[in-house]
Every structure is written in C-alpha cells, then in structure tokens.
Amino acid sequence: MFGFNWLSILINVPITLIALTGHEFAHGWVSTKLGDPTPKMQGRLTFNPLAHLDIVGTLLMIFTGFGWAKPVIVNPRYYKDTKKGMALTAAAGPLANLIMAFIALLIYAILFAVNRKFGLGIDGAVEAVGFIARIFAVRNLCFMVFNIIPIPPLDGAKVLGMLLPDGAYYKMLQYERYSMILIMVLSLTGVFSSIIGTGVNIVMNGILNLLNLAVNLIV
C-alpha cells in the first residue's frame, strides 16, 4: 500500500505499533471495566507495544496495511451478560482505531486552518503533518476495517455474535482455529484488499468531509 522502501517502513513501524497497542489496550480496558481481571493479570493494560505484539500479524500490517496483534485473553464468565460483554469488548478495539484516526486528522485540520487564517508561514510543516496524519489515519482505519470483518476470531464475529442465537454463536466459535488459517491465506493472497480499501475510503472520506465542514464553519 505504501511501497516497500526503507522510508516507508521507518514511518509505518511506529504508526503500526501505536495502532495495534491502542486497539489491544482498548479490549483489555473495556473487559476490565466489565469486571474481568484477566487482562490486568496478564499485563495487557499497558501502552507498551511489546506486550501486544504478534510477529506475523504485525509484519502483515506493516507490509500489507492490515493484520493483527496478540489477542487479549478475557474471561466472559465475569460478565453479567456474556454475549453483550464479549461484543462490547470486541468493539472497543476497532473503535479505538477510529478515534485515533479522527484525532490525527483533526490535529492536521486545526493546524492547517490556523496557518491559513493567521499566515504563519509554516506550509512545509503543515504539509509534513498532513502526510503523517493521513498515513496514521489510513493505518488505523485498515486495522479497524479488517478487524470488523465477521469471521472468527476477528472482532466483527464477536459483535455479530450478540445478534445470533446462542447455538449459532457457539457453533461459530468452534471454527475459530480453522478460520484463522483462512484469514492468513486471504491476507497473503490479497483477497481482503478490495474490501478493506473500500471500507477505509468510505470512512476516511466521511471524516475528512466532517472536518472540512467544521473548519469552514469556524474559520
């Protein structure tokens, strides 16, 4: 997506680490808030990316634009409503990526508007911030869209599970180990690219249109 040159890798590695760390921390934080001590006991309530890395998933994310981190282990027996608790915990990760993408683009929009209004003469800096902000946003949105695909063990399957009858939900989870192999194959062969690219473009354009409207109203 961004090319396989050293500059691209140098930019994408820290961005990837931030995206996956925020994603996994959000899973653990929500599960903890729902009464589950497991993420804290396993040291997952941290912003240290080393606690969340999955080598294969991280490399895929750096080079293809989507991948996964080491899953946060949760114990749904602590939830008052198992399916709802799992859905909320699962949704927290993609939501964290959406929020991070929005914040990055918001910072750029504010800097651009201030520079334009007050003539600060920092066009080069604004352009650089915009470049990084877009890459950061795209990376997070790729992670978000990939993870909301409703295939176990991705987050989308757990969110979908809240709407399924119990029998169908637990039947779906039984195939998790096989679907992980399918996900790796589809990722490496590029089958997911069009789906994720379309999803990222829709969300990205939505955020940019919203920010442009807000900036035009304020400035």
Does position 4 have pLDDT exceeding 70, yes or no? Answer: no
Catalytic residue (one of 24, 105, 155, 158): 24
Does position 14 have pLDDT exceeding 50, yes or no? Answer: yes
The pLDDT, as a whole number, for residue 64 is 66
Q: Kindly report the pTM of this predicted structure.
A: 0.87
Is there a contact between 131 and 2 (Cβ–Cβ < 8 Å)?
A: no
pLDDT over 70, % of the chain: 93
The pLDDT, as a whole number, for residue 74 is 95
Does position 48 have pLDDT exceeding 50, yes or no? Answer: yes
Task: Give dist(CA 147, CA 159) in Å, integer.
Answer: 11
Does position 160 have pLDDT exceeding 80, yes or no? Answer: yes
The pLDDT, as a whole number, for residue 25 is 97
119: left (phi over 0), alpha (psi -120 to 50) or beta: left
Average pLDDT over residues 26-41: 96
Does position 6 have pLDDT exceeding 60, yes or no? Answer: yes
The pLDDT, as a whole number, for residue 67 is 65
The pLDDT, as a whole number, for residue 29 is 97
Chain segment 58-108, per-residue pLDDT in tens:
777 667 656 678 889 999 999 999 889 999 999 999 999 999 999 999 998
Task: Give dist(CA 206, CA 203) in Å, integer.
Answer: 5
Q: Is 176 a catalytic residue?
A: no
Does position 1 have pLDDT exceeding 50, yes or no? Answer: no
Average pLDDT over residues 191-196: 83
Q: Is the dihedral of CA 65, 70, 75, 79 positive or negative?
A: negative
Q: Considering the chain, what is the average pLDDT of its residues?
A: 86
Nearest to 65 by CA among 16, 30, 114: 16
Is there a contact between 83 and 91 (Cβ–Cβ < 8 Å)?
A: no
Does position 156 have pLDDT exceeding 70, yes or no? Answer: yes
